[in-house]
Structure 1
Amino acid sequence: MKEITLSIFGFGNVGRATARVLLEKTGFFRKKYGLSFKVLSVADTSGLVWLPEGIDLREALLVKENFGRLSAWTNDYEVYNMKPGEAIEEVNPDIVVDVTNDANAFPWHLRAIRNGSALVTSNKPPLAFHYSELVGEAERRGIPYLFEATVMAGTPVIALLRENLLGDRVESIEAVLNATTTFILSRMEEGKTFEEALREAQSLGMAERDPSGDVLGIDAGYKATILHCVAFHPMTFGEAEVRGIDGITPELVREATSHGKTIRLVATVERGKVKVEPREIPLESPLAVSSNENVALIKTDLLGELLVKGAGAGPRETASGVVSDIVKAGLVLREA
């Protein structure tokens, strides 16, 4: 049995879902993979809780859910006010897990790799802006840097492109990658205004208080940029052409419906080109998804068309991708 130590940064919905999966599947991981995971530290915006003997994740979940912050956890635990980079070096885990929304996480991702820690993340901006530096540094050091959950939550499109289609030349990817915009557009097809549909998405927790990342296409642009980096070659989000759904009116939705079509925010990824824009698509198209589904239509020279479809949002769905990467990294470290 190989014990793998973890530090978890971010204890919001995805961080807590990840912790629950680690608890629920302890026996499964031991039996199937010969791996035991010990969480040394957990951090949210209020502070970092660290215990070399290992954190009690059940207690961590109770504290967060009852008090809303880990800094309220004082019984037997000390709360530290350390920046992630400092914490990584102090705690020195086998795997750093970043499930934050920290847009400035690139420096501490790089620090983790250089410190010898594997890194698993659902955080998109570091890769959308610094893919080449991060993946290159990890490859040079032979350290796992895994990011399945950055695109399509737990639906394994990154692994498919990175590990499976190794003999294929990818020609193009068309994808719907943002569930919030799909929800809003679907509600507009039912007669709601953009503002009414957005408010409903916010009330259900599907859209943030500041929804600009979704409705302006930024989130989909980040994801499409990462797909380009994996399928073709590194590029940055600044090179992508991105337009969101903020200009879509009920009239445009009705017009599309009258033609037997639907409007979706579609990402087109080709060699050297990433474009995200709302497009009219036929109702029978595989891109005409609903609810929280994401879809990617991948075209290659050998396989032809490959459709990857699944949940693209939700804490547990995202945790599926995060935990899968934790296990992958653990298996690499077991053999090191």
Structure 2
Amino acid sequence: MEVKVSLFGFGNVGRAVARVLLEKKKFIRERHGLEFKVVSVTDRSGTLWMPEGIDLREALMIKESFGKLSARTNEYETYDMGPKEAIRDVEADIAVDITNDRSAHEWHLAALREGKAVVTSNKPPLAFHYSKLIGKARKRNLPYLFEATVMAGTPIITLLREGLLGDSIERIEAVLNATTTFILGEMEGGGSLEEALERAQKLGIAERDPRGDILGIDAGYKATILHCITFGPKTFDEARVKGIAGITSRGIQRARKRGRTIRLVATVERGSIIVEPQEVPLDGPLAVKSHENAAIIETDLLGGLIIRGAGAGLKETASGVVSDIVKASFVIQGR
């Protein structure tokens, strides 16, 4: 089965998704019977659009050599259109949003109205507009999938939506932001938050503007999404969020003397979303390191279920996105 895909966002993660689609083309065809034809790729400079399918190697070369898709070659022409126009004009089965566009919910809704499935790794649309997006997808009987918004490719969303259908989930405790975990881990050696942040930025772990991580906003988005799929709709505005800005290495050292350390923990219960630094046992599941995330899911039947894995990284996030593209294709195939 051939599936036409539009990619929106061609930064680091978008290019990682393109590479997975290239490198695992044979695997996906043999295992799932699917052939993906990328008919458009959009970045901030415009849209590459070829109904017969884009050579992703060529698109990657253009982006990585020139920094933007609008650096034209003899074979490609870039159209002056953003996501809204591409959604309207490009014929595709699945729109894949790998951007950080806070207003992307508008063109997600437009895609659903156009009869296109949506796959996204973009958190704010769901953290602020979950009910509207899921409602529209259900009304149109279309997939709206977002595994990579929480814990990258570690499938916590699939687990919560599809794997615990007989359980009542009572509570989720999770470490969901790898940047703060790295910073707090660095501070365990005695350095200051500022020094740890500077190292994280040099390594490319933290953004130039790190406020989304340091203030707990990223973890708050993710915790809000977990509440929406587990207990029902909430928005980020209803979450109580406190970041790690007030944490000191002295406080971490005191915790370690008690056999504990500090991590930014999201606690999600029915009607409640709290993100704040907490002391966790050094030998406990939430004392993750590096780019790992972890969650403890408390249910009435299973008790405490622990899911732990990569919560950041290019190929790890691409894993979640591509998995959702495959799932969406199965739904389209069965319609």
Do residues 313 (structure 1) and 312 (structure 2) align?
yes
**Aligned letter for 1:27?**
K
Counterpart of 2:30?
31
**How many Å apart are 1:326 and its aligned residue?**
0.2
Counterpart of 2:239?
240
**Aligned letter for 2:264?**
L
> 5+ unaligned residues in a row in structure 2: which ranges?
none
**27-36 vs 267-276, greater mean Cα deviation:** 27-36
In structure 1, distance between residues paired with 2:165 and 2:11: 35
Counterpart of 1:9?
8
In structure 1, distance between residues paired with 2:200 and 2:92: 37
Do residues 169 (structure 1) and 168 (structure 2) align?
yes
**How many Å apart are 1:204 and its aligned residue?**
1.0
**Aligned letter for 1:28?**
F
Do residues 100 (structure 1) and 96 (structure 2) align?
no
Post-superposition Cα deviations, 1:74-96, rounded to whole Å, max 9, x if no partner, equal 32211112121111110021000
Q: CA RMSD in A?
A: 0.8
3-state SS of paired residue (1:71): coil
Q: How high is the sequence identity, in percent, across the aligned residues?
A: 67
In structure 1, distance between residues paired with 2:50 and 2:117: 20
3-state SS of paired residue (2:70): helix
How many residues of Structure 1 are paired with residues of Structure 2 in the alignment?
A: 335
CA contact (8 A) 1:153 1:312 kept: yes
3-state SS of paired residue (1:70): coil
3-state SS of paired residue (1:168): coil
Counterpart of 2:127?
128
Counterpart of 2:114?
115
In structure 2, distance between residues paired with 1:288 and 1:157: 18
CA contact (8 A) 1:148 1:154 kept: yes
Counterpart of 2:281?
282
CA contact (8 A) 1:178 1:265 kept: yes
In structure 2, distance between residues paired with 1:153 and 1:207: 16
Post-superposition Cα deviations, 1:123-155, rounded to whole Å, max 9, x if no partner, equal 000000000000111011110000000000000
CA contact (8 A) 1:214 1:220 kept: yes
Q: How do 1:143-158 residues align onto structure 2 when only pairs under 5 Å count?
A: 143-158=142-157
Counterpart of 2:89?
90
Q: Following superposition, which runs of at least 4 residues in structure 1 exceed 4 angstroms of deviation?
A: none
In structure 2, distance between residues paired with 1:106 and 1:161: 23
**How many Å apart are 1:122 and its aligned residue?**
0.2
CA contact (8 A) 1:92 1:117 kept: no
Counterpart of 1:227?
226
Counterpart of 2:260?
261
TM-score by length of 2: 0.99
CA contact (8 A) 2:42 2:82 kept: no
CA contact (8 A) 2:296 2:304 kept: yes
In structure 2, distance between residues paired with 1:144 and 1:55: 24
In structure 2, distance between residues paired with 1:199 and 1:73: 37
**How many Å apart are 1:121 and its aligned residue?**
0.3
Counterpart of 1:63?
62
3-state SS of paired residue (1:129): helix
**How many Å apart are 1:285 and its aligned residue?**
1.3
In structure 1, distance between residues paired with 2:84 and 2:111: 7
TM-score by length of 1: 0.98
In structure 2, distance between residues paired with 1:323 and 1:73: 27
